[in-house]
């Protein structure tokens, strides 16, 4: 697809693969290719779930600091906006997504991982938001998605100190959801993603929209959003098939078409 970002599809699972050695630094071209990959996996009906993956050695080591240091303020406004937009497109993929984290996920790399619904990490992984050590702050979701995920106090500790967090602590904090052996990271992420390939795609999209959209609303309006999305599923074939299967065969035996 692109020079540094590719979309690979196998049996309904799409993998957005970063490949910009040595550490998958996020420069202008990478952020643009990530945006295009997000659009592709969103639009393709043959992709039912998505893995974000940086390869066996490292997920993403952050932004390209050499490139960034030379930019002017107007240039950083443009780049920062584009990067944030690209990561928001990834976060908005209306399908289950999981980040398969190897090596490091630092700065923009952690912000990339935070766009996924779930994060699987190797037990040798280190994550963090070290931007403060450069005299700046996270600029592509690190102060927002991280605080929503683990709470403001814990997020402030990581952002204020810029310290690296090992896999065990990342799991305890809730930054990652599963820790496995380094060579099992992709397989574990794939196992999670594959369970949705034959699922009710429209209901999964509604579930993601309800949860993510509700986080930006107060409870009363979140409940209204949930009700609207819930009722809307009665316009789908999967709702009819799922309920009829339950009546005739009991739970967990429905066959869904994703319509």
CB 35 within 8 A of CB 79: no
Q: Which of 8, 10, 33, 111 does the annotation list as catalytic?
A: 111
Alpha carbons 109 and 103: distance in angstroms, whole number: 11
Alpha carbons 122 and 214: distance in angstroms, whole number: 31
3-state SS of 33-54 is HHHHHHHHHHHCCCCCEEEEEC
Alpha carbons 93 and 49: distance in angstroms, whole number: 9
CB 258 within 8 A of CB 201: yes
Reply yes or no on whether 111 is catalytic: yes
Q: Which of 36, 75, 131, 226 does the annotation list as catalytic?
A: 131
**Residues with catalytic roles:** 111, 131
């Amino acid at each position: 697809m692109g020079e540094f970002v590719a979309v690979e599809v196998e049996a309904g699972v799409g993998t957005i693969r970063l490949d910009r050695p040595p550490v998958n630094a996020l420069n202008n071209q990478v952020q643009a290719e990530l945006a295009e990959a997000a659009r592709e996996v969103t639009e393709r009906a043959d992709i039912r779930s998505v893995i974000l993956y940086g390869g066996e050695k490292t997920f993403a080591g952050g932004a390209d600091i050499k490139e960034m240091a030379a930019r002017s303020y107007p240039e950083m406004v443009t780049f920062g906006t584009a990067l944030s937009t690209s990561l928001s497109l990834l976060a908005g993929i209306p399908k289950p997504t999981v980040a398969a984290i190897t090596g490091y996920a630092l700065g923009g790399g952690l912000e990339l991982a935070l766009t996924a619904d779930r994060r699987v990490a190797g037990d040798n992984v280190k994550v963090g938001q070290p931007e403060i050590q450069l005299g700046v702050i996270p600029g592509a979701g690190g102060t927002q998605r991280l605080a929503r995920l683990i709470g403001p106090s814990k997020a402030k500790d990581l952002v204020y100190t810029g310290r690296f967090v090992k896999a065990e602590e990342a799991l305890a904090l809730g930054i990652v959801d599963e820790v496995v052996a380094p060579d099992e990271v992709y397989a574990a992420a794939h196992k999670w993603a594959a369970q949705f390939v034959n699922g009710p795609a429209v209901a999964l999209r509604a579930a993601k929209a309800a949860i993510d959209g509700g986080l930006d609303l107060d409870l009363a309006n979140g409940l209204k959003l949930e009700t609207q999305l819930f009722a809307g599923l009665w316009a789908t074939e999967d709702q009819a098939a799922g309920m009829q299967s339950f009546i005739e065969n009991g739970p967990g035996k429905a066959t869904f078409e994703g319509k």
